[in-house]
A and B are shown apart, each in its own frame.
Chain A
Amino acid sequence: MQRHVITALFIVLYACSGLFILSAPCTGEPAAKNVPHRIISLGPAITEALYFLGVEDRVVGVTTYCQKPPEAAKKEKIGTIIEINTEKIINLRPDLVIGTGLTNSKDIKKLKNLGINVVTFDISKDFDRLCQIFLDLGKLVGKEEQARTMIAESRKKIVKTQKKVENLPRKKVFVQLGSKPLFAVTRDYFINDLIEFAGGVNIFKDAKSGLISREEVVRRNPDILIITTMGIAGEKEQKSWQQYKTINAVKNKHIYLVDSDKICSPTPVSFVELLEEIVKILHPEAFEG
């Protein structure tokens, strides 16, 4: 069924599409003193960010996808990322619901109609956006200072990393998000920033859509091939690339698997952790000295 393939693809894409852009909240934001005490998060990235900001005691509901940090999985579940249960949400009497670009707009509308404060974050495309979101989230829950500090620290670390790799040769990188259909990271994903900060060149930065052909991968000849593990599919994918001997990455055995949970947890803090991993892949020499 085409439909199921597309749905599956779309969940993977979502997971990897990074954080969200704050669309202007329709309801007034709470004043500094009046912080929300019963928060419901409708996305794993948001849940993780709330934990980083140290407001986990105020989170009363999360989705079944919220597995990071492990404690988050113990919270009350209100549905999946795309199918939320409005009845359950109302029952939890939240004073703030934080939605994502994937939350069904009809559900959001319904909650707003019932007078619940709903703020939605849309899908973000780069690191700056990611920080902006984190900051907005911090403001929302009355932890602005903490958010600013964490962002500043992350930026510092990134600058340090960039200094390390700036004089090293830039390698051509191909990051694969999906296997059937083959899906690449384009400019529209924060992973693109990840590659560039780590001193690489994303070979599909210019692609309009991530749907690309294997032929094109062979033609653009990446030096490094990074596959996000989609369950078992990652291993299979690694094998299937072996038959394309002309690709530098295959010739020199530079095919790597990165845990998709990692690559899909977009908060400034985890971004930095991930960046270090990517730098090790691209420039192992930077760490041998």
Chain B
Amino acid sequence: MKKTILNWPLSMLLSVGFLLAASLYSLGSGSSDITLKDVIPTLLKGSGTPEFSILFDIRIPRILLGFAVGGSLSLAGVILQGMFRNPLVEPYTLGISGGAALGVALCIILGLHRVFPDLAMPLFGFIGAFAVALPISLINIRKGMVKTEGLLLTGVMISYISSSIVTLILAISSTEDLQGIIFWIMGSLEEPSWLLISIVLFISLICLVLSYIFSLDLNALALGEEEAIHLGVNVERAKKILFLIASVLTGVSVSIAGIIGFVGLVVPHFVRMLAGYDHRVLLVMSFITGAGFLIFCDTLARTIISPVELPVGVITGILGGSLFVYALGRRFLK
């Protein structure tokens, strides 16, 4: 095991602190000048005021969804990077998001989002994600063995195929449909339905608990599959279940919030730099840090050139990427 910068309780404390700070920052900033000091009096005044609805109906839902989606994507990233022992894997590498995008695009051009306005798009996104994840696993499961490299390569190929089909759909669709698909691809934490937000929250936390059960298996897998088998880990079962968890996490996040890049790639690396390679810490801490990171980025996206809102993926890409390159550089200098 490599030496870590901090011991794990301290780094855990740090990430929880970051999450709280990001949430409070988000709660206290926006285009209207409601700041943190106004939050308590506004809530005491009760509903009915525009301030109350801005806090309760606009900022808080976004914070909650940011928490769930940021957490899910980072968690999926950690699981997949650990499973494939490949630092460049992220939730989107496996084509799950491409499949979700394809599902949504189909749903829009078939006009189904007009028939069931609230649920059709997330549902189709989710179905699309799974329609892609299943073939990937099936193609690569032979005689109960999961071929890890095959899984990765098939995923990448399928992801290219789906994104090409989405572009094809964009090329032949009408203007109205075009905008629906574009919105979705740009990714956003804007979600009017409390029901969907609660579903995502619930699923992300359930998956966190489930993946924690496999944290020791992930630790063993990090040594290589042969070693993991010698350590008595049921490698094939663990891989199947972990892949399923990662697919559910990615599919759910993508179908609600669209494609928000970089969170699942960068956050796990950061957390490893801080807290080391033990998945018992890594899983939980990545979830918390990813949640904080996405909430923070979304707040920047909302406020940086107000009143215009930037797509949150722009901020996660620029901020996450640059911070990461900087941190990596520092590390090699040592």
User: What separation, in Å, do the CA atoms of A250 and B302 have in the docked complex?
Assistant: 48
Chain A, residues 70-108, CB within 8 Å of chain B (1/0): the string is 000000011110111111101101000000011011110
> Of B172, B182, B302, which one neighbours A10 at CB under 8 angstroms?
B182
Looking at A109-117, A134-142, A144-152, A167-175, the stretch in contact with chain B turns out to be A109-117
Does B180 interact with chain A (Cβ within 8 Å)?
Answer: yes
**Contact check: which of B58, B117, B311 meets A86 at CB < 8 Å?**
B58
Do the beta carbons of A102 and B179 come within 8 Å of each other?
yes
Binds A, one of B82-90, B187-195, B277-285: B187-195
A253 to B: closest C-beta gap in Å:
32
Which 8 A-B residue pairings sit nearest by Cβ, starting from the closest?
A109-B192, A91-B32, A85-B307, A110-B192, A88-B31, A83-B309, A87-B30, A88-B307
B176 at the interface (CB under 8 A from A): yes
| Cα distance A79–B172 in the bound complex, in angstroms | 28
The stretch from A1-9, A47-55, A233-241, A270-278 touching chain B is: A1-9
- B175 x A13 contact (CB < 8 A): yes
Residue numbers in B under 8 Å from A14 (CB-CB): 175, 179
Chain B residue numbers with a CB within 8 Å of A123 are: 175-176
Sampled A-B contacts (26; CB under 8 Å): A10-B178, A10-B182, A13-B178, A78-B307, A80-B308, A84-B309, A85-B31, A87-B31, A87-B54, A88-B306, A88-B307, A90-B32, A90-B50, A90-B54, A90-B58, A93-B50, A102-B179, A105-B117, A106-B188, A106-B190, A110-B190, A113-B192, A114-B53, A122-B176, A123-B176, A211-B171
Residues of chain B from 119 to 177 with CB closer than 8 A to chain A in the complex: 167, 170-172, 174-176
- Count chain A residues whose beta carbon lies closer than 8 angstroms to a beta carbon of B: 40
- Residues in A neighbouring B226, C-beta threshold 8 A: none
Chain B positions within 8 Å of A86 at CB level: 58, 190
Given contacts A90-B58, A122-B176, 15 further A-B contacts (CB under 8 A): A14-B175, A79-B307, A83-B308, A85-B31, A85-B306, A85-B309, A86-B190, A87-B302, A90-B32, A91-B31, A104-B183, A105-B113, A110-B190, A114-B53, A209-B172
Which residues of A are found within 8 Å of B118, using beta-carbon distances?
Answer: 109
Residue B38 interfacial (CB < 8 Å) = no
Nearest chain-B residue to A17 (Cβ)? B175
Bound form: Cα–Cα A80–B183 in Å: 13
Q: Does A188 contact B (CB under 8 A)?
A: yes
Q: A86-B58, A110-B57 known; A6 and B170 CB under 8 Å?
A: yes
CB contacts (< 8 Å) of B192 on chain A: these are 106, 109-110, 113
Nearest Cβ on chain A to B198's Cβ, whole angstroms: 15
Q: A14-B175, A110-B192, A123-B175 are in contact. Are A77 and B182 (CB under 8 A)?
A: no
Q: Is the contact region of chain B dominated by helix, strand, or loop, or is it mixed?
A: helix
- Listed in ascending order, the chain B residues whose CB lies under 8 Å from chain A are 30-32, 50, 53-54, 57-59, 113, 117-118, 167, 170-172, 174-176, 178-180, 182-183, 185-186, 188, 190-193, 302, 306-311
Residues of B within 8 A of A110 (CB): 57-58, 190, 192
Known: A6-B170, A113-B192. A87 touches B176 (CB 8 A): no
Known: A90-B50, A91-B31. A101 touches B176 (CB 8 A): yes
- Give min CB distance, B262 to chain A, whole Å: 15
Q: Complex formed: what's the CA distance from A32 to B302 in Å?
A: 38
- Complex: A107 Cα to B117 Cα, angstroms: 13
CA–CA, A266 to B53, complex, Å?
35
The docked-state distance in angstroms from the alpha carbon of A10 to that of B167 is: 13
Query: Which residues on the B side are within 8 Å of A83 (C-beta)?
Result: 308-311
Whether the Cβ atoms of B175 and A87 lie closer than 8 Å is no
Is the C-beta of A219 less than 8 angstroms from some C-beta in chain B? no
When chains A and B are docked, how far (Å) is the Cα of A84 from the Cα of B193? 18
Instruction: Decide if A64 touches B308 in the complex (CB within 8 Å).
Output: yes
- Chain A hits for B185, CB < 8 A: 3
A77 to B190, CA, bound (A): 20
CB distance from A20 to the nearest CB of B (A): 10
Bound form: Cα–Cα A6–B183 in Å: 12
Choose one: A79, A87, A93, A109; the contact of B308 (CB below 8 Å): A79
Nearest residue in B to A64 (C-beta to C-beta)?
B308
Q: Are B170 and A113 in contact (CB under 8 A)?
A: no
The answer for the CA separation of A24 and B153 in the assembled complex, in Å, is 48
- Whether A106 contacts B31 by the Cβ 8 Å rule is no
Say yes or no for A208: interface residue by CB 8 A criterion.
Answer: yes
